[in-house]
Amino acid sequence: MKITNDILYIGVNDHDIDLFEGQYDVPNGMAYNSYAILDEKIAIMDTVDIRFFDEWTENIRAALNGRTPDYLVVQHMEPDHSANIHRFMQAYPSVTVVSSTKAFAMMKNFFGTDYADRRIVVGEGDTLPLGKHTLTFVTAPMVHWPEVIVTYDSTDKVLFSADGFGKFGALDVEEAWACEARRYYFGIVGKYGQQVQSLLKKAAKLDIRKICPLHGPILTENLSCYLKLYDIWSSYKPENEGVMIAYTSVYGNTKKAVELLAETLEKNGCPKVTVCDLARSDIHEAVEDAFRYDRLVLATTTYNAEIFPYMREFINKLTERNFQNRTVGLMENGSWAPMAAKVMKGMLEKCKNLTYLDPVVTIQSAMNDANRQQIADLAAALCGLKVEADEPTAPAEEAQTAGKKYACKICGYVYEGQSLPEDFTCPLCKRPASFFEEIQ
């Protein structure tokens, strides 16, 4: 594949892989991109996954038409791009490897050598003349490894962007860019928004006509669209208006409540409602949608005085990736001691700029009329509608004297009363009062 007159694609497609990085489902495979820049001197840009050495080197031979490469530029040391460095250096003993200081330290770890006698160490702003082409190196630490550099060819105005602007999927499969690029970004790069922002500021100073990533298609048109999406994603702004509802349900009662909420949101005119059963869906697509939309509802059951495992995993993935700047609603279910909302909110404490909506929907086993009203009120709040206050269902005198609830952290037994006696013992697990906490 010719990218410009002097830049050729020499990468490979992988349709044998089932899980990328051991966790991301890739039904349309993966592309491991590598490029050859043909000039007075020839530069090979990165290698490919170790399983494709023969195919890759055959692509190199076909592109070079009898010539020998002079440089191997290593932008990123993750093994899907670097695993063939050592074999390549053995196959071409006159080649010089060009990379960052930290990358050479990693080569020592991977291959037992840092190529001290066959290397050029580059950093921010360093250049490598090839003839009419000059490569300028831009450091991109933690996008998404510390050694990363990207490379700008000022002649053809091409940015070789390492893992930036990559996506899941092989190049011989036609599909829209944004969905799998978004899932790729938030799965792999999403934690490092601040570092991506720094790289975008550097890129803004360059005249870029094409972007050549290490995964996914070469980007040649409407580059401002891709750059805008990366700016949105890396600044943790919502991309679209809408509500993403993520839920788990053991016996179907929480699911029914979620379905009612989704139906009510649609009736209220919410522009987009997406519902995800975390136990049965690709959790990384769920993470993608949580970052895509401006509102998130978390609905789960109390489980072992905690929350259902799939919800815990989902929230962990959000917090690991610096989830922030969203509006959040909470729904919980628990037959004797609902604690899920408190646990979920606690897990999200480290997230910045989250706005929590009232009411928290609290179901005790199955929905009742009071829950349906809570769901209607939450839907109204999510849609920015005024919530009408209901008349109290109990006399004011009774409400004022209602007791507090204290839950055993071991078995979940709930004690009701104005205060928990200091000498109280749980009738189920026999733990003392110190094992109880008030249910807020």
State how beta strands 96-99 and 119-121 pair.
Answer: parallel
Mean pLDDT of 55-68: 96
User: Would the pLDDT of 389 be above 50?
Assistant: no
- The whole-chain average pLDDT of the chain stands at 92
What percentage of the chain exceeds 90 in pLDDT?
84
* Interval 350-365: pLDDT, tens: 999 999 999 999 999 9
User: Would the pLDDT of 62 be above 90?
Assistant: yes
The per-residue pLDDT for 211 is 98
- The closest alpha carbon to 34, from 223, 169, 210, 215, belongs to 215
The per-residue pLDDT for 337 is 83
For residue 129, list its beta bridge partners.
Answer: 134
CATH code, residues 401-438:
2.20.28.10
Q: Give CATH 3.40.50.360 domain extents, the chain.
A: 240-382
Distance of CA 253 to the CA centre of its chain: 30
- The closest alpha carbon to 160, from 71, 65, 255, 52, belongs to 71
**CA–CA separation, 364 and 336 (whole Å):** 7
The per-residue pLDDT for 423 is 81
Q: Give CATH 2.20.28.10 domain extents, the chain.
A: 401-438
Q: Backbone phi, then psi, for 235, in 5-degree steps?
A: -100, 5
The per-residue pLDDT for 440 is 73
**CA–CA separation, 30 and 216 (whole Å):** 8
Mean pLDDT of 126-136: 98
The per-residue pLDDT for 429 is 63
Mean pLDDT of 80-96: 96
User: Would the pLDDT of 386 be above 70?
Assistant: no
More confident residue, 436 or 120: 120
Half-sphere exposure of 336 (CA within 13 A, CB side): 12
State how beta strands 404-408 and 354-356 pair.
Answer: unpaired
Q: Backbone phi, then psi, for 206, in 5-degree steps?
A: -105, 150
Q: Give CATH 3.60.15.10 domain extents, the chain.
A: 7-234
Angle between the 309-320 and 283-292 helix axes, to the nearest 10 degrees? 50
CA-based torsion, 409, 414, 418, 419: positive or negative: negative
What percentage of the chain exceeds 70 in pLDDT?
94
User: Would the pLDDT of 159 be above 60?
Assistant: yes
Mean pLDDT of 378-391: 73
What's the angle, vertex CA 293, arms to CA 217 and CA 140, rounded to 5? 45
Per the CB < 8 A criterion, the answer to whether 143 and 189 are in contact is yes
* Interval 262-275: pLDDT, tens: 999 999 999 999 99
* Interval 224-282: pLDDT, tens: 999 999 999 999 999 999 999 999 999 999 999 999 999 999 999 999 999 999 999 99
User: Would the pLDDT of 190 be above 50?
Assistant: yes
The per-residue pLDDT for 387 is 52
User: Would the pLDDT of 391 be above 50?
Assistant: no
At 438, is the pLDDT very low, low, confident or very high (cuts 50, 70, 90)?
A: confident
Half-sphere exposure of 222 (CA within 13 A, CB side): 6
User: Would the pLDDT of 393 be above 60?
Assistant: no
- The closest alpha carbon to 150, from 76, 232, 55, belongs to 76
User: Would the pLDDT of 419 be above 50?
Assistant: yes
Mean pLDDT of 187-216: 96
Mean pLDDT of 370-395: 74
Reading the block at residue 218, the tokens are 């070469």
* Interval 280-299: pLDDT, tens: 999 999 999 999 999 999 99
The per-residue pLDDT for 408 is 78
User: Would the pLDDT of 427 be above 80?
Assistant: no
The per-residue pLDDT for 431 is 76
CATH code, residues 240-382:
3.40.50.360
The per-residue pLDDT for 250 is 93
User: Would the pLDDT of 396 be above 70?
Assistant: no
**CA–CA separation, 364 and 303 (whole Å):** 13
Residue type, 178: A
At 388, is the pLDDT very low, low, confident or very high (cuts 50, 70, 90)?
A: low
CATH code, residues 7-234:
3.60.15.10
User: Would the pLDDT of 138 be above 70?
Assistant: yes
The per-residue pLDDT for 401 is 36
The per-residue pLDDT for 8 is 98
Per the CB < 8 A criterion, the answer to whether 79 and 106 are in contact is no
The per-residue pLDDT for 270 is 94
